[in-house]
Amino acid sequence: MSEKYKPQFPRMAQLKTAADLGNYLTKNDIGLPFDETLLPSSESPFNRPIPLKSGQTIGNSLCILPMEGWDGTLDGRPTDFTRNRWKKFAISGAKLLFGCEAVAVCHSGKANPNQLVMNANTFPDFVELRQLVLDAHTEVFGKTDDLVIGLQLTHSGRFCKPKSHKAFESKILYSHPFLNSKFGMPADYPLLTDTDIDQIIEKYVEAAVLAQKAGFDFVDVKHCHGYLGHEFLSAVSRDGRYGGSFENRTRYLRNIVAGIREAAPGLGIGIRLSAFDMLPFKKGPTGAGIPEAADQYPFAFGGKPSGTELDLTETKELLALVESLGIQLVCITGGSPYYNPHLMRPALFPPQMVTCPRRPTARGETANRCDT
């Protein structure tokens, strides 16, 4: 961080009491009313069950967002660190585990060498992971018939780092005016072909079939945080079947869903969506992040051409499409940790890094990490 820049807002963790938070909200004219004490669980609105069209019921309205720890083995299997995290998801009290963590559909699509992968070799590990969740949940809550467990399936697209934490092996859909150079790609870096995309879709379907066999209730077809699914939504300059029009940019989602419906009937499908996006940010003169300069920026899905304002017209179109595809589970997030992390995570520090913030891994070392 620049010596000059001092954050002008407190960390959430510094607001220790309800009164601290209340004072902060009042001082900053933020209308966010809240109860100062929690209601007993029998009266809590969080404790209401949510019936799904599939016939399943989510036992309450608490959800664990997917969260990876970059702690799998190099061949995509969980370690004790992974198992420990999943156990914590299980005993959290939430009855919806929205994907547990990002699991790549193929090795070349991993966001880091230690990301989990779902394939025939790793399948038994996922059977065990899910059983561990069921056992831990039962131990604390006595039953699992109201626990809904998803598996987030991902391909990291532009942000693939399958072999080394340092080296991108990007798979991109279009040449991006800022992101190509920011992540070390020349403007003419090769694009995934439509045939490559068809093959990735097959991998998604294969992974979903295995997820169903392993007992997961649904798979999350990840469309957020700048990864491949999300990049399709902004591929306005791409030619061919998967770019340009809204219809073409959503073909990837529609083809994956059709493939899963055919090969894994009955498996639930969800989508984690970056519902809005903005220009990439960079370090400004004071050390605080500023957006890249662009008169017209067409690559922010859910954003105006200014690149810094929202326009949710296409987002709503996508949500209507998702509904028409029979997808009931939608998890909304925004932006990407690789180029505008302040849109999604409670950020104390401004987005000023060239790649990603250095953060401790489960093993204690630091690495350039953009967990999503």
Ligand X SMILES: Cc1cc2nc3c(=O)[nH]c(=O)nc-3n(C[C@H](O)[C@H](O)[C@H](O)COP(=O)(O)O)c2cc1C
Q: Residue 38 carries which DSSP code?
A: P
The reply on whether position 65 binds ligand X by CB under 6 A is yes
Told to check if 340 binds ligand X by CB under 6 A, we report no
CA distances from 42 to 35, 63, 96, 156, 301 (A): 16, 18, 19, 42, 41
Largest CA distance in the chain: 60
Among 112, 119, 250, 333, binds ligand X (CB under 6 A): 333
The DSSP result for 302-354, as a single string, is TB-TTSSSB--HHHHHHHHHHHHTT--EEEEE-S-TTT-GGGTS--SS-S--S
Per the DSSP assignment, residues forming a β-bridge with 58 are: 50
Q: How is 109-154 classified by DSSP, letter by letter?
A: G-SSTT-EE-STTTHHHHHHHHHHHHHHHHHHHS--TT-EEEEEEE
Using the rule CB under 6 A, is 362 a contact of ligand X?
no
CA atoms within 13 A on the CB side of 80: 1
How many chain residues bind ligand X (CB under 6 A)?
14
Among 88, 345, 358, 363, binds ligand X (CB under 6 A): 345
Binds ligand X by CB under 6 A, chosen from 72, 95, 96, 101: 101
Give the contacts of 6 (CB within 8 A, at least 6 positions apart). none
- Quote the least distance from Cβ 222 to ligand X, whole Å: 6
Is the CB of 1 or the CB of 344 nearer to ligand X? 344
Compute the distance between CA of residue 297 and CA of residue 303 in angstroms, rounded to an integer: 9
Binding mask 288-327 for ligand X (x = CB under 6 A): ----------------------------------------
Residues 120-149 that bind ligand X (CB under 6 A): none
Q: Does 277 bind ligand X (CB under 6 A)?
A: no
Closest contact distance (angstroms) between CB of 68 and ligand X is 4
Determine which residue in the list 90, 94, 97, 102 makes contact with ligand X, applying CB under 6 A. Answer: 102
- Is position 11 an interface residue for ligand X (rule: CB under 6 A)? no
Sign of the C-alpha dihedral, residues 67, 71, 72, 78? Answer: negative
Residues 107, 136: Cα–Cα separation, whole Å: 29
What is the spatial distance between Cα 179 and Cα 197, in angstroms, rounded to a whole number? 20
- Among 15, 52, 62, 67, interactor with ligand X by CB under 6 A: 67
Of 88 and 345, nearer to ligand X (C-beta) is 345
Residue 66 engages ligand X in binding (rule: CB under 6 A): yes
Residue 94 CB, shortest distance to ligand X, in Å, is 13
C-alpha angle 215/217/222, rounded to 5°? 115
* 191 versus 329: smaller Cβ distance to ligand X: 329
Binding window for ligand X (CB under 6 A); candidates: 9-17, 62-70, 252-260, 276-284: 62-70
- Applying CB under 6 A, the span of 45-53, 59-67, 183-191, 200-208 interacting with ligand X comes to 59-67
Which residue ranges make up the site for ligand X (CB under 6 A)? 65-68, 101-102, 152, 224, 272, 333, 344-345, 371-372
